[in-house]
Amino acid sequence: MTPPAPKPDAAWHALDAMQVLERLQTDATAGLAAAAVARRRAEHGPNRLAEVKPTHPMWRLALQFHNLLIYLLLGAASITALLGHWVDTGVIVAVVVLNAVIGFVQEGKAERALQAIRRMLSPRALVLRDGAQHDIDATDLVPGDIVLLASGDRVPADLRLLQARNLRIDEAALTGESVPVDKDTAAVDEAAPIGDRLGMAYAATMVTQGQARAVVVATGARTEIGRIGRLLEEVQAVTTPLLRKMSDFGRVLSLVIMATAALLFGFGTLVRDYAAIDMFMAAVGLAVAAIPEGLPAIMTITLAIGVQRMARRHAVIRRLPAVETLGSVTVICSDKTGTLTRNEMTVQQVVLAEGCFTVQGAGYAPHGGLETVDGPCAGWPPAVHGLAQAGALCNDASLREQTGPVGGAGQWTVTGDPTEGALLTLARKAGFDLAALAAQQPRLDVIPFESEHRYMATLHAPGTTPGAGNVVFVKGAPERVFTMCAAQFDDQGREQAFDAAAWHTRVDEQAAAGRRVLALARRVVPSDHARLVLGDVQQGLTLLGLVGIIDPPRDEAIRAVAQCRAAGIEVKMITGDHAVTASAIARQIGLGGGDVKAATGAEVEACDDLALRRLAIETTVFARASPEHKLRLVRALQAEGQVVAMTGDGVNDAPALKQADVGVAMGMKGTEAAKQAGSIVLADDNFASIAHAVEEGRTVYTNLRKTVTFLLPVNGGESLTLLLAVLLGIALPILPAQILWVNMVSSIGLAMVLAFEPTEADVMTRPPRRPDEPMLSGFVIWRIVFVSTLFMLGIFGMFELALARGAAIEEARTVAVNTLVAMEVFYLFSVRYLKSPSFTWTGVQGTPRVLAAVSGVFLLQLVFTYAPFMQTLFNTSALSLQVGAQIIAVGALVLLVLEVEKLIVRRLGLDE
Ligand code: ATP
């Protein structure tokens, strides 16, 4: 029998928890069964808000015509039509349409690329279903699902709270109120406004503190946020400050060009006595020649391709300007655990008051015994056993064996905190049945681990020893736990006075070997004591011992750090771990070139802002640091003129991520709060991905610069040619329609290649780009002027040569256009390596894209020159093979000249 569907729009906040569960026919401890989930999913649909409606394609196409140049061209087309110059009108209109279509297609491509990337960031939710915890895509939630919330989570649907511990939620997304609200589970009056409904958590709000268990009451469009019609994700325009600057530059350039064209018209008609019509066509030609029509589209697509490439290398861009900023990063501040290290923890040593044991085995597989310096131990001494038991109970992780290939051993994996996973493996090695242990000594209460406090405590029933009282277990950072201890156990299990000095020495020994150290302690409380309060753990504990955990560095992080150092980027480690452990790992990874200077969070606190600037620059490892320290460190480094990338995962890291020039959030272990604050999300939490993102960021910038350096001289050469012809009063070497052909066909086709250019070999050996460095740097401007002049000389030279040879004007013009295109093709090979030689084997080979573009352009030029209809349309005429060869030779000559120029510029050190 199908149960009636849950009533969707009840005043859930006014019902108490039991009523809500009953209405939704769900169970607070086991959650829904798979069959119920499937049914409700079919009925309610996915838990998704309406996505931003994309602009209608027709409208997008229409918008392509909304641009100064197009208006100019359409104006020219109407005038030529009035004058009966139908061919010119046809060419201009064709060009306008072609331009719009190219813009439309490119823009669509860029949009789609970004959309695909946005989808990679879909939020997750932790639910209870069929009695087990599952980490699912938040879109799969259905009413009745039991959700577990933790600090940093984004609330995935509208929820009625069942249990809440210190829960605070930032509801700004819904109510606009930026102060987080304390939540509990109480029902409130039905008429209460949203901000006062304490027992509810609403979709799209953020958990800033605490934990909760809650039941989903509404999903998707039925949530409060869905109802007010707010959209899931604001649309992001495909632009960055740099692109905006370039488009402003383009606008100014267009105005200047149009003014020049007007002047030219005046000069030609009044001074040179050209016919007004001819002069008008020349002025239009100049405007068309000088305006880089394809530039904006190509810059946008270059950016989008960069973003796609980064995503492929596990760095998902959330805010586009980050692509640019990445190229100028000078300092990367990285977390340690999981980013620089593998986050695969293994307890390697157990340290007791009277001895130290080494635990055999690596990874999470629970196989291995104990050994001492004297050799393997026969069994597990009771004191080690007791410590392993504490580690297993004061624990939120779970250890599982994935079934392996037939007959083979399975893979052991941990869900939850890997540090805790290591303790579970230890307990299994010591012979504990984890499920039985948990059943025997059920947990009564918990103080969860928070980075700020650095410990976790649990309260358990006494288990098999009746009347023994409840037991509190505490595990955490040693110096923290030591302050809570009054006694320690000897190897016979007797309590003795706590010897803090001796324990600190043992901690230092462990840390110096690069091990992460946890201390474990216990305390017995009366059996009627069923809630944990801070007072229970602050004193009177008995120390059980220490565990030394290894977390090996990631090999790829070691390589990436070396790469960053070569690229002039400092890498600093900011970690919650012990200073000695962190320094040992930092040395293994090669931070600071092996010369590791460490400071602790306490030292950071002791510094005023000025002193911190010095400390921040000099120090490589910041240990025992908390999120507030991160924020101050970013500010201090920025005050020193550094461009800072900062990683983070917790809700408290959000301010530092926002402050950093590039905030890098962890995609796997990071909270939603951190992901929203970051401008990049690392899909694999791996430091190497940050280095890759920097490399791609630098590549995007270089490619943008190549595009500009490629396109502008072509326009420059064309306009100089026209200007000179009019000023000298001679025939135009290239007609306006022909210029349009070159700009719209060969220029765009060739420039598009640059958007896809692979990373240059030396990208990561150059120093970071200065953030204030203009795109049109002195070097780029020089290159543009120089190449424009070369192009003009080439066009004019070949044109005049043809005329001198007695060729007809049509033929001479065809020679001029083909020379221009040939020079462009060879210039492409030069520009692919802006400053380094192009005459290398890889340089000459090009890439498949380069070859395709060049062949395409070559074929089109053949059509342009030899096809009768093109001859009519563009006034071209066929050329002999010999002339063709000459044209290609001129192109090659340009490349040669540019190679010599590169050599001289490099020798004189003028390249920047
Ligand atoms: P990073 O900031 O690079 O990720 P981290 O993981 O060492 O470094 P935290 O997770 O804040 O930083 O841990 C800080 C300290 O708290 C650890 O050195 C350890 O002593 C202790 N600790 C870590 N995890 C737990 C846990 N689950 N229970 C109790 N104590 C823990």
Best mutation site among 334, 335, 454 for ligand 1 pocket (most ligand atoms within 8 Å of CB): 454
Do residues 129 and 31 touch, judged by C-beta distance below 8 A? yes
On the question of pLDDT at 2 being above 90, the answer is: no
Q: Is the CB of 420 under 6 A from ligand 1?
A: yes
User: Tell me, what's the pLDDT at 51?
Assistant: 63
pLDDT, one tens digit per residue, over 478-497 is 999 999 999 999 877 889 99
Do residues 206 and 154 touch, judged by C-beta distance below 8 A? yes
- Phi, psi for residue 154 in degrees, rounded to 5: -95, 130
Best mutation site among 424, 426, 449, 520 for ligand 1 pocket (most ligand atoms within 8 Å of CB): 449
User: Tell me, what's the pLDDT at 87?
Assistant: 78
Q: Is the CB of 572 under 6 A from ligand 1?
A: no
Taking residues 817-832, report their average pLDDT.
Answer: 94
On the question of pLDDT at 120 being above 70, the answer is: no
Q: Is the CB of 515 under 6 A from ligand 1?
A: no
As a whole number of angstroms, the distance between CA 452 and CA 442 comes to 27
Taking residues 803-814, report their average pLDDT.
Answer: 94
User: Tell me, what's the pLDDT at 121?
Assistant: 66
Q: Is the CB of 456 under 6 A from ligand 1?
A: yes
Query: Which atom of ligand 1 is least distant from the CA of 394?
Result: 28
Percentage of residues in the chain with pLDDT exceeding 90? Answer: 48
Count of CB atoms within 10 A of residue 856's CB? 14
Q: Is the CB of 477 under 6 A from ligand 1?
A: yes
On the question of pLDDT at 471 being above 60, the answer is: yes
Tell me, letter by letter, the H, E, C secondary structure of 351-368: EECCEEEEECCCCCCCCC
User: Tell me, what's the pLDDT at 55?
Assistant: 72
Count of CB atoms within 10 A of residue 193's CB? 9
pLDDT band at 59 (very low <50, low <70, confident <90, very high): confident
As a whole number of angstroms, the distance between CA 319 and CA 144 comes to 35
Ligand 1 centroid–CA 577 distance in Å is: 6
What one-character DSSP code corresponds to residue 7? P
Q: Strands across the sheet with 644-648, in order?
A: 315-317, 680-682, 662-666, 644-648, 331-334, 570-574, 621-623, 598-600
Do residues 141 and 47 touch, judged by C-beta distance below 8 A? yes
pLDDT band at 911 (very low <50, low <70, confident <90, very high): low
Q: Among 45-59, 211-225, 306-320, where is mean pLDDT lowest?
A: 45-59
User: Tell me, what's the pLDDT at 356?
Assistant: 92
More reliable by pLDDT, 518 or 172: 518
Burial per residue of 762-777, b for 16 or more beta-carbon CB atoms within 10 angstroms, e otherwise: ebbebebbeeeeebee
Q: Among 46-55, 618-627, 680-689, 863-872, where is mean pLDDT lowest?
A: 46-55
User: Tell me, what's the pLDDT at 465?
Assistant: 63
Distances (CA, A) of 835 to 519, 705, 706: 57, 12, 10
The CA radius of gyration of the chain, in Å to the nearest whole number, is 35
Tell me the CATH class for 12-46+118-222: mainly beta
Best mutation site among 419, 420, 583 for ligand 1 pocket (most ligand atoms within 8 Å of CB): 419
pLDDT, one tens digit per residue, over 565-620 is 999 999 999 999 999 999 999 999 999 887 899 999 999 999 999 999 999 999 99
Do residues 183 and 169 touch, judged by C-beta distance below 8 A? yes
Q: Among 242-251, 679-688, 858-867, 880-889, where is mean pLDDT lowest?
A: 242-251
Count of CB atoms within 10 A of residue 735's CB? 24
Do residues 754 and 825 touch, judged by C-beta distance below 8 A? no
Taking residues 361-365, report their average pLDDT.
Answer: 89
Tokens of 289: 């020649």
Q: Is the CB of 334 under 6 A from ligand 1?
A: no
Distances (CA, A) of 554 to 66, 152, 486, 515: 52, 26, 39, 15
Count of CB atoms within 10 A of residue 161's CB? 25
Cα diameter, the chain: 117
Count of CB atoms within 10 A of residue 700's CB? 27
Neighbour-count burial of 608, counting CB atoms closer than 10 A to its CB (0-12 exposed, 13-18 middle, 19+ buried): exposed
User: Tell me, what's the pLDDT at 176?
Assistant: 75
Helix (H) or strand (E) holding 485: strand 485-489
Taking residues 813-837, report their average pLDDT.
Answer: 91
Smallest CA-to-CA distance from 188 within 25, 11, 18 is with 11
User: Tell me, what's the pLDDT at 5?
Assistant: 42
Please name the residue whose Cα sits nearest to atom 12 of ligand 1. Answer: 576
Count of CB atoms within 10 A of residue 806's CB? 8
pLDDT, one tens digit per residue, over 123-146 is 889 999 998 888 899 999 999 999
Smallest CA-to-CA distance from 537 within 454, 598, 593, 439 is with 454
Count of CB atoms within 10 A of residue 827's CB? 24
Q: Is residue 6 helix, strand or coil?
A: coil
Pairing status of strand 370-372 against strand 355-359: antiparallel
Ligand 1 centroid–CA 447 distance in Å is: 15
Ligand 1 centroid–CA 575 distance in Å is: 8
Smallest CA-to-CA distance from 822 within 899, 736, 883 is with 883
Tell me, letter by letter, the H, E, C secondary structure of 715-779: HHHHHHHHHHHHHHCCCCCCCHHHHHHHHHHHHHHHHHHHHCCCCCCCHHHCCCCCCCCCCCCHH
Concatenate the DSSP letters of all residues of 419-482 into one string.
Answer: HHHHHHHHHHHTT--HHHHHHHS-EEEEE---TTT-EEEEEE--TTSTTS-EEEEEEE-HHHHH
On the question of pLDDT at 405 being above 70, the answer is: no
As a whole number of angstroms, the distance between CA 912 and CA 906 comes to 10
What one-character DSSP code corresponds to residue 607? S
**Highest mean predicted confidence (pLDDT) among 462-466, 770-774, 880-884:** 880-884
Q: Domains of the chain: which residue ranges?
A: 12-46+118-222, 310-341+555-692, 346-550, 777-912
Q: Among 119-128, 149-158, 236-245, 542-551, where is mean pLDDT lowest?
A: 236-245
Smallest CA-to-CA distance from 264 within 281, 247, 249 is with 281
User: Tell me, what's the pLDDT at 56?
Assistant: 80
As a whole number of angstroms, the distance between CA 674 and CA 667 comes to 9
As a whole number of angstroms, the distance between CA 396 and CA 424 comes to 10
203 half-sphere exposure, CB direction, 13 A CA radius:
31
Cα angle 269, 274, 279; round to 5:
70
On the question of pLDDT at 769 being above 90, the answer is: no
Ligand 1 centroid–CA 423 distance in Å is: 14
As a whole number of angstroms, the distance between CA 519 and CA 511 comes to 13
- Residues with Cβ within 8 Å of 202's Cβ and at least 6 positions away in sequence, in order, are 155, 158, 159, 171, 174, 194, 223, 224, 225
Taking residues 439-455, report their average pLDDT.
Answer: 88
- Residues with Cβ within 8 Å of 326's Cβ and at least 6 positions away in sequence, in order, are 645, 662, 680, 693, 694, 696, 697, 698
Q: Among 73-82, 509-518, 551-560, 882-891, where is mean pLDDT lowest?
A: 73-82
Ligand 1 centroid–CA 12 distance in Å is: 38
Q: Is residue 709 helix, strand or coil?
A: helix
Q: Is the CB of 336 under 6 A from ligand 1?
A: yes
Tokens of 239: 């632009």
Distances (CA, A) of 378 to 151, 348, 356, 371, 719: 45, 18, 15, 9, 90
Pairing status of strand 315-317 against strand 644-648: unpaired
User: Tell me, what's the pLDDT at 79?
Assistant: 83
Do residues 186 and 12 touch, judged by C-beta distance below 8 A? no
Cα angle 204, 208, 211; round to 5:
95
Tokens of 311: 């995503």
As a whole number of angstroms, the distance between CA 419 and CA 421 comes to 5
Cα angle 677, 683, 685; round to 5:
85
User: Tell me, what's the pLDDT at 104?
Assistant: 84
pLDDT, one tens digit per residue, over 171-187 is 887 787 778 899 998 88
pLDDT band at 35 (very low <50, low <70, confident <90, very high): very high
Architecture of the domain made up of 310-341+555-692? 3-Layer(aba) Sandwich (3.40)
Please name the residue whose Cα sits nearest to atom 18 of ligand 1. Answer: 577
323 half-sphere exposure, CB direction, 13 A CA radius:
31
Side chain identity at 282, as an amino acid letter? A
Burial per residue of 451-460, b for 16 or more beta-carbon CB atoms within 10 angstroms, e otherwise: eebbbbbbbb
Taking residues 160-168, report their average pLDDT.
Answer: 91
What one-character DSSP code corresponds to residue 271? I
Please name the residue whose Cα sits nearest to atom 16 of ligand 1. Answer: 454
Catalytic residues: 335
Burial per residue of 585-600, b for 16 or more beta-carbon CB atoms within 10 angstroms, e otherwise: bbbbbbbbeeebebbb
Do residues 540 and 523 touch, judged by C-beta distance below 8 A? yes
User: Tell me, what's the pLDDT at 393?
Assistant: 96
Concatenate the DSSP letters of all residues of 216-255 into one string.
Answer: EEE-GGGSHHHHTT--SS----S--HHHHHHHHHHHHHHH
pLDDT band at 736 (very low <50, low <70, confident <90, very high): confident
User: Tell me, what's the pLDDT at 128?
Assistant: 92
On the question of pLDDT at 229 being above 70, the answer is: no
Residue-level length of the chain? 912
Tell me the CATH class for 346-550: alpha beta
Ligand 1 centroid–CA 418 distance in Å is: 10
Best mutation site among 518, 578, 628, 657 for ligand 1 pocket (most ligand atoms within 8 Å of CB): 518
On the question of pLDDT at 232 being above 50, the answer is: no
pLDDT band at 873 (very low <50, low <70, confident <90, very high): confident
Query: Across the strands, what pairs with 548?
Result: 349, 517
What one-character DSSP code corresponds to residue 267? I
What one-character DSSP code corresponds to residue 269? I
- Residues with Cβ within 8 Å of 886's Cβ and at least 6 positions away in sequence, in order, are 798
Q: Taking all residues of the chain, what is their mean pLDDT, rounded to a whole number?
A: 87
Tokens of 595: 């010369």
User: Tell me, what's the pLDDT at 53?
Assistant: 65
